[in-house]
């Protein structure tokens, strides 16, 4: 089997692993961007070169997602968290209300922020089921006069992913796709706005993509302070103030990789499905030991989240995994357990290797503790 290096075995929930070819180009750019002759860290955001980077990146995003030229693509700062506040500050000013789905940790954060700006209608909450599943269409309580409908396509912490587009087509649909944008094709034209920070599938932390349909953009207020004003950001082509040049350039390289090396979102989706399938297969084959958190229909192709029989065995698993070269497998601090994040940059071979490790770990566990009553030292 090919020996994978530490970066290739990085299953971190975010910032996530980036493709090796992108890292190599960034290594070169750190000293000198060939076409400029300067380090990427010292190139002016007002340079012609950077304007071209932004222009190409906007085009690449539209091309990958199949969006018309009229769609506005913004590169913003403040992470997805800034969007949690900025959105309602823009849209709930006139006493209107918005529909939100509460499907896990991050949608809870979005709701908490939005409540500070206006009224919300909880269209559905998964709290009673400990956020182990997503709603059916019939369960959603949607309002036809909502200012917008908000949900998160992939709950990064719980490993829940919508495999359809929920919501009404006559209410602006807004989605946080921070942990699955550009990981698969989708019906992106059905969204008024999509946002996603880069640090999972798209690049390093520091830049957040905000994609706005032109007709929706026209409905947004123009008189807000610049930093929370989508028009100001769009008019400046993402150079409203000094943007994170390095992060934006990195995202450009990832989009080039997706377009030219991978061949588009259909192909990356096939990679991601294969990685997810081999890990979920282990969960299904050893279901008494590896306990998947998400309902099968809502399993995420990005974050495979599971528990082992007890916290002691989970610690032993993490320790053994670390010794075997894997990293980033610990679950989110809010729920613990194990999380294998398999973003775009993670190769299929890495997921295969983790699946093998999980099988071996299970077998060694069964041999060393036939009653599954405790943890043998031979195993830890
Ligand atoms: N939304 C989702 C789906 C996330 O996974 C995260 C962070 N992992 C956030 C929002 C918060 O993002 P940020 O730290 O960029 O503000």
Q: Where are the domains of the chain?
A: 22-262, 264-378
Examine the pLDDT at 374 and tell me if it is beyond 60. no
Ligand 1 centroid, distance to 80 Cα (angstroms): 5
User: Structure pTM?
Assistant: 0.96
Task: Name the least confident of 20-29, 92-101, 186-195, 369-378.
Answer: 369-378
Ligand 1 centroid, distance to 153 Cα (angstroms): 12
Residue 40 CA neighbour count, 13 Å, CB half: 19
Output the CATH code of domain 22-262. Answer: 3.40.640.10
User: What backbone phi and psi angles, to 5 degrees, belong to 161?
Assistant: -130, 130
152 lines ligand 1 (CB under 6 A): yes
Ligand 1 atom at minimum distance from 155 CA: 3
96 class by beta-carbon count within 10 Å (0-12 exposed, 13-18 middle, 19+ buried): middle
pLDDT (mean) for 53-80: 97
pLDDT (mean) for 112-140: 98
Structure-block tokens of residue 276: 């997810």
Ligand 1 atom at minimum distance from 109 CA: 10
14 lines ligand 1 (CB under 6 A): yes
79 lines ligand 1 (CB under 6 A): yes
Whether 22-262 shares its CATH topology with 264-378 is answered no
H-run or E-run covering 59: helix 48-65
Considering the chain, what percentage of its residues have pLDDT values greater than 70?
Answer: 97
Examine the pLDDT at 178 and tell me if it is beyond 60. yes
DSSP state of 309: S
Examine the pLDDT at 376 and tell me if it is beyond 90. no
Ligand 1 centroid, distance to 11 Cα (angstroms): 16
Fold of 264-378: 3.90.1150
User: Which residues does the annotation mark as catalytic?
Assistant: 106, 176, 200
pLDDT, the chain, mean: 95
* Ligand 1 pocket mutation pick from 159, 179, 332 by most atoms within 8 angstroms of CB: 179
* Ligand 1 pocket mutation pick from 156, 209, 305, 343 by most atoms within 8 angstroms of CB: 156
User: How many whole angstroms separate alpha carbon 175 and alpha carbon 190?
Assistant: 11
pLDDT band at 369 (very low <50, low <70, confident <90, very high): confident
pLDDT band at 248 (very low <50, low <70, confident <90, very high): very high
pLDDT (mean) for 271-277: 98
């Amino acid at each position: 089997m090919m020996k994978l290096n530490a970066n290739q075995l990085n299953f971190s929930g975010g910032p996530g692993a980036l493709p090796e070819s992108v890292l190599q180009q960034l290594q070169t750019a750190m000293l000198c961007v060939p076409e400029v002759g300067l380090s990427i860290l010292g190139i002016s955001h007002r340079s012609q070169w950077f304007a071209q980077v932004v222009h190409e990146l906007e085009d690449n995003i539209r091309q990958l997602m199949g969006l018309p030229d009229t769609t506005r693509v913004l590169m913003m700062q403040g992470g997805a968290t800034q969007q949690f506040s900025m959105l309602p500050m823009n849209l709930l000013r006139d006493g209107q209300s918005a529909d939100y789905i509460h499907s896990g940790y991050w949608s809870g954060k979005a709701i908490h922020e939005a409540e500070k700006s206006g009224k919300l209608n909880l269209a559905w909450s998964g709290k009673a089921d400990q956020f182990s599943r997503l709603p059916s269409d019939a369960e959603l309580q949607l309002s036809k006069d909502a200012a917008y409908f908000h949900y998160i396509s992939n709950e990064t912490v719980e490993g829940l992913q919508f495999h359809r587009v929920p919501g009404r087509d006559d209410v602006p649909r807004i989605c946080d796709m921070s942990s699955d944008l550009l990981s698969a094709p989708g019906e992106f034209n059905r969204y008024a706005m999509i946002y996603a920070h880069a640090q999972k599938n798209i690049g390093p932390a520091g830049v957040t993509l905000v994609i706005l349909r032109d007709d929706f953009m026209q409905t947004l207020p123009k008189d807000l302070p610049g930093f929370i004003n989508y028009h100001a950001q769009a008019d400046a082509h993402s150079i409203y103030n000094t943007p994170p040049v390095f992060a934006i350039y990195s995202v450009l390289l990832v989009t080039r990789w997706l377009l030219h090396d991978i061949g588009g979102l259909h192909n990356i989706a096939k990679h991601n499905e294969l990685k997810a399938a081999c890990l979920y297969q282990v969960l299904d084959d050893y279901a008494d030991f590896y306990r998947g958190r998400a309902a099968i229909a809502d399993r995420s192709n990005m974050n495979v989240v599971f528990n082992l029989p007890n916290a002691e065995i989970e610690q032993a698993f993490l320790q053994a995994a670390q010794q075997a070269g894997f990293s980033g497998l610990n679950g989110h601090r809010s729920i613990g357990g194990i999380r294998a994040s398999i973003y775009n940059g993670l190769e299929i071979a890495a997921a295969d290797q983790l699946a093998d490790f999980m099988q071996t770990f299970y077998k060694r566990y069964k041999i060393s503790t036939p009653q599954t009553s405790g943890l043998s030292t031979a195993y830890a």
